[in-house]
Structure 1
């Protein structure tokens, strides 16, 4: 299991993912879940994965392989004309890998299942994010649904729903995501540090603003400790329920 969030703000896009993988309660390891492609001045694409690790790695490997020699390989994620076409390519690739891996054919709930968040901007279009399902179909982010989650979503969603604001600055959005991830990490062993962060500013067309948040990161530790203390303080201030 894993946890990934893609969020759209008025200033751009924010992506965060954990890196934990597990094959049982006593077998944990780390694997990158966030991947980026860019052509400076033309496009920036970020992809995050959740689900069967072999499936997601095969999807990313295919996308990578088909993008390295652009003149020889097609379709390439670096040659799609719009983010919609990028989402279609990712969906097709995901469906292809799942169908190939499953000897009985693709089903959305089988052990080869995976889901993907892909977002970014291609020159001439607006920044956007898509959620791609195991069947290869996908939906696009909207004002009513301004963020997507995949993986272990339930623990981190309440704070996002309550506190998200499209006008928040990147720093505020990262703080919100830190709290969302901390809630998930504390509730589920299959999600854990390090975390990968990518901030994309509208019309920048690059992937430079990336950071890995390791165990002991000062900003993360201070933010999550302050959030824990604030929750305890808020609880103490609530009216006592009389029995």
Structure 2
């Protein structure tokens, strides 16, 4: 399992993902689930993955391989003319990988299931955010749906829904996401540290900040402990049930 979030705010885009994968309680590993393609001044694309690890790794490896092969450059993430075409390319690659891996009759909702969040900006266009399904189709974020989650979403979603505001600064958004991820980490052992984070400021076409956050990160510990204490204080401040 995994947990990934991509959000749009007025300042730009914010991405965060965990790094834990597991095939049972005695088989836990760390794998990067966030991948960045950047041509400074021209484009930034961030892709986060969830689902079957073999499928997601095959998709990313194929995208990477084709971006380095001169003979196939016209169909790579480094050459797509728009974010929409980038999402379409990734959707087609997902379908290609699943079709080549699955036995006859195997559906996309089966063992090869995988989902993706793609966000970024290509010069001349707006920052855009997409969620790509295992069937290869995708949807784009809107004013009504300004963020996407994939993986283990239920524990971290309530805090985002309650606290998210489009006018938030990057600093406020990082705080919000750390609370969301901390709530998920405490509730589900299949999601774990370290966390990967990317901040992208609109119209810059370059990554503003890329960082890995581990258990020893002082800001993570401050927010995690502070949120726990604040919840306890809020609970104690509520009136007791009348006898």
Give TM class, smaller chain.
over 0.9
Matches of 2:171 and 2:129, distance apart in 1: 20
**Residue 106 of structure 1: how far off its partner (Å):** 4.5
- Distance apart, 1:104 and its partner CA: 2.7
Structure 2 residue aligned with 1:164: 164
Superposed CA offset, 1:154-197 (max 9, x none): 00000000000000000000000000000000000100000000
In structure 1, what is the equivalent of residue 233 of structure 2? Answer: 233
Question: 2:219 — aligned with what?
Answer: 219
Q: Structure 2 matches for 1:82-161, cutoff 5 A? A: 82-161=82-161
- String of CA shifts for 1:122-144, please: whole Å, max 9, x gaps: 01110011000000000001110
Following superposition, the deviation at residue 72 of structure 1 comes to 4.1
Q: CA deviation at 1:33?
A: 0.1
Residue 139 of structure 1: SS of its match in structure 2?
strand
* Structure 1 match to 2:14: 14
Check whether the contact 1:66–1:74 (CA below 8 A) recurs between aligned residues.
Answer: no
Whether the 8 Å contact between 1:99 and 1:105 is mirrored in structure 2 is no
Is the contact made by 2:201 and 2:208 (CA closer than 8 Å) also made in structure 1? Answer: no
Contact 1:70 1:76 in 2 (8 A): no
Once the two structures are TM-superposed, the CA of residue 35 in structure 1 deviates from its matched residue by 0.3
The answer to whether the 8 Å contact 2:201/2:207 transfers is no
Q: Distance in 1 between matches of 2:169 and 2:230?
A: 22
SS in 2 for 1:209: strand
Secondary structure, aligned partner of 1:171? helix
Structure 1 gaps, min length 5: none
* Counterparts of 1:107 and 1:241, CA distance in 2: 51
**Aligned residues of 1:3 and 1:151 also touching (Cα < 8 A):** yes
Structure 2 residue 60 is matched with structure 1 residue 31: no
Shift in Å at residue 219 of structure 1?
Answer: 0.3
Gap regions ≥5 residues in structure 2: none
CA distance, structure 2, for counterparts of residue 51 and residue 184 of structure 1: 17
Residue in 2 aligned with 1:185? Answer: 185
Residues 160, 180 of structure 1: 8 Å contact kept: yes
User: What do residues 6-38 of structure 1 show as CA deviations (whole Å, max 9, x unaligned)?
Assistant: 000000000000000000112101000000001
Asked whether 1:57 is paired with 2:57, we answer yes
How far apart are 1:71 and its partner, in Å?
Answer: 5.1
CA distance in 1 between partners of 2:41 and 2:34 (Å): 21
Does the 8 Å contact 1:130/1:140 carry over to 2?
A: yes
Using a 3 Å threshold, how does the CA distance of structure 1 residues 106 and 167 change in structure 2: closer, same or farther?
farther
Measured in 1, the distance between the counterparts of 2:157 and 2:70 equals 39
Q: Give the whole-Å Cα distance in 2 for the aligned partners of 1:156 and 1:104.
A: 37
